[in-house]
Structure 1
Amino acid sequence: MKPEDFEELLANCADEPIRFPGAIQPHGVLLTLSEPGLQIVQVSANVADLFNQQPEALLGQPLHALIGTEPAEAVLQMLLHNTFIDAPALHITLHGSEFEGLLHRHQGVLVLEFEPLIKHFQPTALNGRTSNLSKMLQRLQSAKTLQALYEISVTEIQAMTGYDRVLIYRFEEEGHGQVIAEASAPAMELFNGLFFPASDIPEQARELYRSNWLRIIPNADYEPVPLVPKLRPDTGQPLDLTFATLRSVSPIHCQYMKNMGVLSSMSISLMKGDKLWGLISCGNRQPLYIPHQLRTVCQSIGQVLSLQISAMEALDISRQREEKVEALTLLNQAMIASAQNVFEGLTECPQVLMDLVQASGVAIIDDKQLHCYGNCPEPVQIRALHKWLQETGQSVFASHNLSSVYPPAAHYQHVASGVLAMSLPKPVDNGVLWFRPEVSESINWSGDPRKSLDLENLDAGMRLRPRTSFEIWKVKMAGISSRWSHGERFAAHDLRRSALENDLARQVQREQQAVRARDELVAVVSHDLRNPMTVISMLCGMMQKAFSSDGSHSSRRISSAIDTMQQAAARMNVLLEDLLDTSKIEAGRYTVKPVPLDVSQIFEEACSLLAPLALEKSIDLSFHAEPGLQINADPERLFQVLSNLIGNAIKFTPRQGNVGVSAMGNDQEIVFSVRDSGEGIAPDQLPHVFDRYWTQTENNPSGTGLGLYITQGIVKAHGGRIEAESELGRGSEFRFTVPRVTLAPGT
């Protein structure tokens, strides 16, 4: 057979419709019922043998026609419960036999199953005592280690159920599984410690284990019982038996059981969150039926065991992390103490770094620098590996079989079969790579994992059959290191987090130093330039007296030039003051000295200064303040705010417009408003008016873009707030608040 033909058979096996077998196991009867009338829609063909009724004659009939009025009424009462588990048990006697009814609803149809009722099932005695749930749970809780927990579980379940073999099977990351605990009768072949290939439990079978906590096969040597009719009449599709206890299983699996020497099995799922962690697998050489009541107990044990395993694994991981705290503290201190960067700090303690994760070598990459300690691959190999790790996009990467995911590692697996790596999101190459060498070991497989399925010749062609050999098959593993534990992986994450925090702290410190240096530079420049600009202004004044604008042509030219120099010097002084204020605001060092002020007096001063500017453009400038308003404010700085806002309003209001200034009080603050009838500010620009260097470009050739930014800083320094509203063609309004003077009672 060609390899591609064998792969196609494997795919067909994986796609086997195990949820929709169209048949059940023969030890019970299955019905589907319509609601609300409970008419029989489908029925298993063995209803003729077990209930002495012909299946075709039952279709469309009410349920009571089969089981009687009282039991049918009991089913109706079960439907009233939120979950059928809460309903009383349903017991009936038909054709001389007692049955127990199990009900569930799935995909819009009621499924009712009847199984034999065994009232006096006696579990096997172990060491002269009979197991019971209460004692078993106490013994589970007494386990101090995970392995002890596994051993107690298999021993107790075997005693409770009487199976010849009970084992715990744990799934590994790679997909295969290992038997980690076993309790077996003396004549049974032992599987404890053996590995089983992933193909023994295909993915769709694992999905069923995730959906159902328990699956039972009382007798693998059975003939499936078909459903009548084969398809659902309402949908024309096969009935989904995912949650049916009687669901017929794959014939390949039944043959697999026989090859293992068992005819009866029960599997209990072990979950970790929503993931399938493993199975409790029970097997018996002879057919064995476990009644529903005992299966429910076993299912509860599986659920409790799942929680116990998760809790103990979490405690074990926590213990592993605690063991790393001291080393992580030393490494963190080294990173903090480093004068340059965090990776330089790590190079100061390589042995601590290797001991942190039990590595035999470590490489530290910091841009062009590569530091290697212990047993490491060649530098060019490390650089190539690091480049590949960056391409994976994983901030922390771990593998104990590196060559399986990165083939070039096969050239140096004697020093780096395992790698654990972490890196930071920086623009330069960086990272820490820990290495472990190849560990020569043999893994015992239950049969050749490369031959988990055989081929069987049939007249109709070839089909897969389960393997027949479970003899121990040893494989010497190459290119594999010891696994990185959860604690070691967490240590890599913790170290990365510390490195990231230290690196960010260094960046913030550098930025703060840059801000301080800039502030100092602005202050020095402002101070050093202010004196020369004052001298220039004074000299311009003196020269202005010597040259008259009414004199000769050359005298008028010199006078005009002096005017220009004076204006430039004045603007330079304003710019220097703005830069100094901006620097203080950004550094959080802008201070004001509030004193009680009368608002009407401030308005008078503002009017006397700014009215000439408004008069020049025939702008109606008005001031209105509620009488008696008192505020706490720095007079010089508050006047600077009003001057800037009113000056801007006059500047951007066309001739014969109007500018209104008002002040209104409430219980805690005074609200100032400066409104104009100018052209307004575009909606996309309005959110940015208080940003640094924002300026209205039209009609403002000399604007620095710092006025409103400084205005906002002054208002905030007073404990107030400022906002702007504007509409194109309708003008703008700037409002700001200042705390009012709080008068003492009786004043």
Structure 2
Amino acid sequence: MLNDMQTMDDLLDNCANEPIRIPGAIQPHGALLTLLETDWTVQQASANAWQMLNIGSDVQPGDPLVRWLGEAQTEALRDAVQDADLHSLDPLPMQFAGQAFDGLLHRHDGLLFLELEPVATQASMQGLGPRLTRTLRRLQSAKSLDDLYAISVSEIRALTGYDRVMIYRFEEEGHGQVIAESATADLDAYLGLFFPATDIPQQARELYRLNWLRIIPDAAYVPAPLVPALRPDTGEPLDMSHSVLRSVSPIHCQYMHNMGVRSSMSISLLKDERLWGLISCGNREPLQVPHTLRSACQTIGQVLSMQISLLEDQQTQRQRLAKHHMLDRLSRAMNESADDVYNGLLENSQALLTLVDAHGAAVIIDGQVHLVGQCPSTEQVSALQQWLQNRPGSVFETSSLGAVFPDAQAYQRVASGLLAFSLPKPVANGVLWFRAEVRGSVEWSGNPQQAKRVVNDRLQPRESFALWEQQVEGKARAWSAGEVYAVSDLRRSALEADLSRQVLREKEAVRARDELVAVVSHDLRSPLTVIVMQCGMMQRVINADATASTKRLNSAVDILQRASSRMTSLLEDLLDTSKIEAGRYFIDAERLEVSQLFEDAWSLLTPLALSKFIDLTFHAEPDLTIFADPERMFQVLSNLVGNAIKFTPKAGSVKVTAAGEGDHVVFTVVDTGEGIRSDQLPHVFERYWRRREGNPSGTGLGLYISQGIVRVHGGELTASSEEGVGSEFRFTVPRASMAS
């Protein structure tokens, strides 16, 4: 038994990989030529081309096209393909030995394909234009999907004369269902029946997606092989993915025979570039539908595709709007909840179930599972949530949970349907809705378990299409698009509410921190001032009695005084940092002479520079004025120049300049220090950068605060440096106008 199953699996794999794109032959109701446009030679021809086009056997592939088509038709073809889009040439009229042909053209894989179909009498084409116009108007005026489907199948059957025309929609699981049908009275009805996914393998579906229409006039045809069998230029089989005449799989021809169909036509229905379904036409006798009529049917299929998308979207939008009131209620509940936002959902459990018409729901808050209505156990929900967390996508839905999550088969009676959303990791919060199993039956066209069979080690399609009823378990009523959208909208509201609370908590934390810093700064500043004053008095007393012991005491007092001063400086910096981060750092700007600013800075910083024999210079353009806060601007300048002096070796230089540049004044502080390493330069304006530079004497906040001050003034502070050469700090400040 195992060997039989393995044989079937192997044969099914072979079927799925059957080379249907490269059959090496065509259906013989037309002829095929492939052309190389660089030299206009025929590369390959179908074996029936000589007879159909009345060409002598001395003409062979590799010969110029003119030998195949004649001078006039060759020139007409060359001019047409060079001057026009190939779709606009659909078809190109041609004639051979008194027989009219439709020339169908497309380019693929470096070749020009010319497919030639004999044109039958034009009598059947009379009045086609007005009929097509009327059909399209009816399609566009359809108010429901059912009306749309019914109009399509009846109109195409009336236009073409097929015995049966039906619309076949692909389901999520891969199989398809007939959702509309028009057929002669003596045929069995397929409406509502399901067809197994194996009837149309995946690679065949992809060709349906790429090509709007596929026709088989007579499934009992004898294929016309290509001559030569392989492409002369590549030695590979010819890819005929877009060929109208491409020969089809023998298995499919046998399938048609078993179904009692001799000819068929399929029109693809696409939605969002995805194969949504097919308009499938079948006839018990051979039927050749002319190209012009096929084009009309293709147009109907294209309009139907657009109308299906439009009406489905409208239906989804109506469903979505119907949920609006319930979504508002749940969103308000989340926003008003005193605890976690998801507690608001638990407090409105009935609304939570009603939102998507669920039998049960689970709300997971910080890993804790809260159950509402009919649900699996807490442990089962936890395992399910963990599985969901590892799946892509923010919203998950299925009506057959056990098929994708086998553990769910243990509780499929209460939860065969699942609609859920989770939050991004590492947050474990989420909401899961459950629908109970709906036991029933599904009607198939034939037993899906016998869709393929093996005869003499060859795979054969099923022979029976008789009604077959299957009992279904582990399946719930499907979730509608509107319900899925509602869950997506609720997830967004939950994220917004949760984010809003986080922002509020962070604002409260910042406010509390600011208040603490202000209180600490104020309460410590006074005693520190007293300590500094007392240290000064003690030093004066000690200096009056200069002994060895008093010198040691004087040194200790000096250390205490410096530590107190540094603590005062740190408190000031922390207060400034807090204001900058909270966006409450204000300045009192006024007209300020740059020369005066430089003079004050020179007076303060020159003694520090002289102690290291550093050449400190200030230079400003004459009559340069800025609009700035004098105290804060002096703070920036003294910080930058002080740092430059600190990090410049003895006998170096520090140059400070100011120059007008448009509406701003540019200040630069250039030193000849050791420079800043390239990996450290991006971090110099971060808080506590001194730790990276090994600068224990600073607070690590000076450059951070300086940048904040410059930005509040409407300027920008930047740094550049080269190791072993020095550093340059540059900042801009608005220039004072004459009216300032």
Q: Using structure 1 for the length normalisation, give the TM-score.
A: 0.95
Q: Secondary structure at the residue paired with 1:414?
A: coil
Cα separation, 1, equivalents of 2:184 and 2:34:
40
Report the equivalent of 2:624: 629
Summarize the Cα distance change of 1:15–1:617 in structure 2 as closer, same or farther, 3 Å threshold: closer
Summarize the Cα distance change of 1:737–1:234 in structure 2 as closer, same or farther, 3 Å threshold: closer
Q: Which amino acid aligns with 1:144?
A: K
Summarize the Cα distance change of 1:60–1:428 in structure 2 as closer, same or farther, 3 Å threshold: closer
User: Are the aligned partners of 2:193 and 2:444 in contact in 1 as well (CA < 8 Å)?
Assistant: yes
Summarize the Cα distance change of 1:589–1:293 in structure 2 as closer, same or farther, 3 Å threshold: same
Q: Deviations over 1:216-252 (max 9, x none)?
A: 1111122222222222222222222222222221122
Summarize the Cα distance change of 1:635–1:340 in structure 2 as closer, same or farther, 3 Å threshold: same
Q: Which amino acid aligns with 1:691?
A: E
Q: Which amino acid aligns with 2:475?
A: I
1:594: how far off? 1.4
Task: For 1:159-238, list aligned pairs within 5 A.
Answer: 159-238=158-237
Q: Deviations over 1:302-323 (max 9, x none)?
A: 1111111111111111122111
Alignment pair present for 1:694 and 2:672: no
User: Are the aligned partners of 1:123 and 1:161 in contact in 2 as well (CA < 8 Å)?
Assistant: no
1:66: how far off? 4.0
Question: Unpaired segments of 5 or more residues in structure 2?
Answer: none
Report the equivalent of 1:453: 452
Q: Which amino acid aligns with 1:338?
A: S
Cα separation, 1, equivalents of 2:616 and 2:59:
101
Q: Which amino acid aligns with 2:362?
A: A
Cα separation, 2, equivalents of 1:427 and 1:32:
58
Q: Deviations over 1:531-564 (max 9, x none)?
A: 1111112222222232226523222222222222
For 1:720, which of 707, 715, 718 is the aligned residue?
715
Report the equivalent of 2:121: 119
1:483: how far off? 0.4
Report the equivalent of 1:268: 267
Q: Secondary structure at the residue paired with 1:433?
A: strand
User: Are the aligned partners of 1:629 and 1:665 in contact in 2 as well (CA < 8 Å)?
Assistant: yes
Alignment pair present for 1:50 and 2:45: no
Q: Which amino acid aligns with 1:156?
A: E
Summarize the Cα distance change of 1:718–1:257 in structure 2 as closer, same or farther, 3 Å threshold: same
1:209: how far off? 0.9
Task: For 1:81-100, list aligned pairs within 5 A.
Answer: 81-87=83-89, 89-95=91-97, 97-100=99-102
For 2:564, which of 560, 569, 584 is the aligned residue?
569
User: Are the aligned partners of 1:71 and 1:90 in contact in 2 as well (CA < 8 Å)?
Assistant: no
Summarize the Cα distance change of 1:14–1:552 in structure 2 as closer, same or farther, 3 Å threshold: closer
Alignment pair present for 1:514 and 2:509: yes
Moved more, 82-91 or 391-400: 82-91
1:613: how far off? 1.6
Q: Secondary structure at the residue paired with 2:557?
A: helix
Cα separation, 2, equivalents of 1:63 and 1:654:
86
User: Are the aligned partners of 1:444 and 1:473 in contact in 2 as well (CA < 8 Å)?
Assistant: yes
User: Are the aligned partners of 2:90 and 2:105 in contact in 1 as well (CA < 8 Å)?
Assistant: no
Q: Secondary structure at the residue paired with 2:495?
A: helix
Alignment pair present for 1:73 and 2:75: yes
For 2:670, which of 663, 666, 675 is the aligned residue?
675
Report the equivalent of 2:286: 287
User: Are the aligned partners of 1:550 and 1:556 in contact in 2 as well (CA < 8 Å)?
Assistant: no
Q: Which amino acid aligns with 1:627?
A: P
User: Are the aligned partners of 1:81 and 1:87 in contact in 2 as well (CA < 8 Å)?
Assistant: no
Cα separation, 2, equivalents of 1:305 and 1:619:
85
User: Are the aligned partners of 2:416 and 2:476 in contact in 1 as well (CA < 8 Å)?
Assistant: yes
Report the equivalent of 2:334: 335
1:212: how far off? 1.4
Alignment pair present for 1:415 and 2:410: no
Summarize the Cα distance change of 1:117–1:655 in structure 2 as closer, same or farther, 3 Å threshold: same
User: Are the aligned partners of 1:124 and 1:162 in contact in 2 as well (CA < 8 Å)?
Assistant: no
Q: Which amino acid aligns with 2:11?
A: L
Q: Which amino acid aligns with 2:368?
A: Q
Summarize the Cα distance change of 1:74–1:627 in structure 2 as closer, same or farther, 3 Å threshold: closer
Alignment pair present for 1:315 and 2:317: no
Q: Which amino acid aligns with 1:134?
A: T
Cα separation, 2, equivalents of 1:247 and 1:368:
58
Q: Which amino acid aligns with 1:658?
A: S
State the aligned residue count: 738
Moved more, 566-575 or 540-549: 540-549
Task: For 1:207-606, list aligned pairs within 5 A.
Answer: 207-425=206-424, 427-457=426-456, 462-548=457-543, 550-606=545-601
User: Are the aligned partners of 1:78 and 1:88 in contact in 2 as well (CA < 8 Å)?
Assistant: no
1:55: how far off? 4.8
Q: Secondary structure at the residue paired with 1:656?
A: coil
Cα separation, 1, equivalents of 2:374 and 2:146:
34
Summarize the Cα distance change of 1:197–1:559 in structure 2 as closer, same or farther, 3 Å threshold: same
1:365: how far off? 1.1
Alignment pair present for 1:150 and 2:149: yes
Cα separation, 2, equivalents of 1:499 and 1:312:
30
Report the equivalent of 1:9: 11
Report the equivalent of 2:112: 110
1:401: how far off? 0.6
Q: Deviations over 1:324-370 (max 9, x none)?
A: 11111111111110122111111110111111111011111112532
Q: Which amino acid aligns with 1:532?
A: P
1:604: how far off? 2.0
Cα separation, 1, equivalents of 2:355 and 2:393:
20
Question: Unpaired segments of 5 or more residues in structure 1?
Answer: none
Cα separation, 2, equivalents of 1:188 and 1:130:
30
Summarize the Cα distance change of 1:555–1:299 in structure 2 as closer, same or farther, 3 Å threshold: same
User: Are the aligned partners of 1:32 and 1:109 in contact in 2 as well (CA < 8 Å)?
Assistant: yes
State, as a whole percentage, how many aligned pairs show the same letter: 58
Cα separation, 2, equivalents of 1:552 and 1:148:
113
1:581: how far off? 1.2
1:391: how far off? 2.6
Q: Deviations over 1:179-237 (max 9, x none)?
A: 11000011122111110001111112112111211111111122222222222222222
User: Are the aligned partners of 2:59 and 2:68 in contact in 1 as well (CA < 8 Å)?
Assistant: no
Q: Secondary structure at the residue paired with 1:79?
A: helix
1:290: how far off? 0.7
Cα separation, 2, equivalents of 1:255 and 1:361:
49
Q: Deviations over 1:567-619 (max 9, x none)?
A: 22222211111111111111111111112222222222222222222222222
User: Are the aligned partners of 1:397 and 1:420 in contact in 2 as well (CA < 8 Å)?
Assistant: yes
Q: Secondary structure at the residue paired with 1:701?
A: coil
Cα separation, 2, equivalents of 1:707 and 1:693:
9
User: Are the aligned partners of 1:131 and 1:156 in contact in 2 as well (CA < 8 Å)?
Assistant: no
User: Are the aligned partners of 2:90 and 2:103 in contact in 1 as well (CA < 8 Å)?
Assistant: no
Cα separation, 2, equivalents of 1:155 and 1:230:
42
1:280: how far off? 0.7
User: Are the aligned partners of 2:613 and 2:650 in contact in 1 as well (CA < 8 Å)?
Assistant: yes
User: Are the aligned partners of 2:621 and 2:659 in contact in 1 as well (CA < 8 Å)?
Assistant: yes
Cα separation, 2, equivalents of 1:569 and 1:47:
104
Summarize the Cα distance change of 1:228–1:637 in structure 2 as closer, same or farther, 3 Å threshold: closer
Cα separation, 1, equivalents of 2:95 and 2:367:
83
Cα separation, 2, equivalents of 1:735 and 1:163:
83
User: Are the aligned partners of 1:124 and 1:160 in contact in 2 as well (CA < 8 Å)?
Assistant: no
User: Are the aligned partners of 1:444 and 1:472 in contact in 2 as well (CA < 8 Å)?
Assistant: yes
Q: Secondary structure at the residue paired with 1:415?
A: coil
Cα separation, 2, equivalents of 1:724 and 1:97:
84
Q: Secondary structure at the residue paired with 1:80?
A: helix
Cα separation, 2, equivalents of 1:388 and 1:537:
65
Q: Deviations over 1:425-474 (max 9, x none)?
A: 253532111110011221100000000012223xxxx2122111111100
1:689: how far off? 1.5
Q: Which amino acid aligns with 1:343?
A: Y
Summarize the Cα distance change of 1:181–1:625 in structure 2 as closer, same or farther, 3 Å threshold: same
